[in-house]
Amino acid sequence: MMEIGLNHYLVLSTILFSIGLIGVMKRKNLLLLFFATEIMLNSVNIAFAAISHYYGDLTGQMFAFFVIAIAASEVAVGLGLLILWHKRHSSIDLDKMSTMKG
């Protein structure tokens, strides 16, 4: 049985990040966009925790906690805005949000 090392965690983190990135680029539903963002953030968390463990330095894990906290608050604010948007436009389709068109 192979020892699970740092590289495995980093590969997992990269795969998760790529999934999240593709999700961010492809999804048209704002809610799913949030999900994808969460995946990306958590992939980074995995990397932080793994590297932190590898070096025996707790700073990385601490940072992961910060990320979780910020992600939570971001989702809270984001969902609030999303609900407002849905109330006003009864749609959360990304393609319809184009008021920033230059």
User: Which positions touch other proteins (CB under 8 A)?
Assistant: 21, 24-28, 33, 94-95, 97-102
Rg (CA), the chain: 17
Closest approach, Cβ 43 to other proteins, in A, equals 15
Residue closer to other proteins by CB (options 58, 97) is 97
Between residues 28 and 89, which has the closer beta carbon with respect to other proteins?
28
Which residues 6+ apart lie within 8 Å of 79 measured at CB?
34
Nearer to other proteins, 83 or 97 (CB): 97
Give the nearer residue to other proteins in terms of CB position, either 27 or 53: 27
Smallest gap from Cβ 51 to other proteins, in A, equals 19
Q: Which of 3, 12, 4 is nearest to 39 (CA)?
A: 12
- Measured from the CB of residue 98, what is the shortest distance to other proteins in angstroms? 4
User: Cα(26)–Cα(49) distance, rounded to whole angstroms?
Assistant: 28
Q: Which distant-in-sequence residues (6+ apart) come within 8 Å of 89 by Cβ?
A: 96
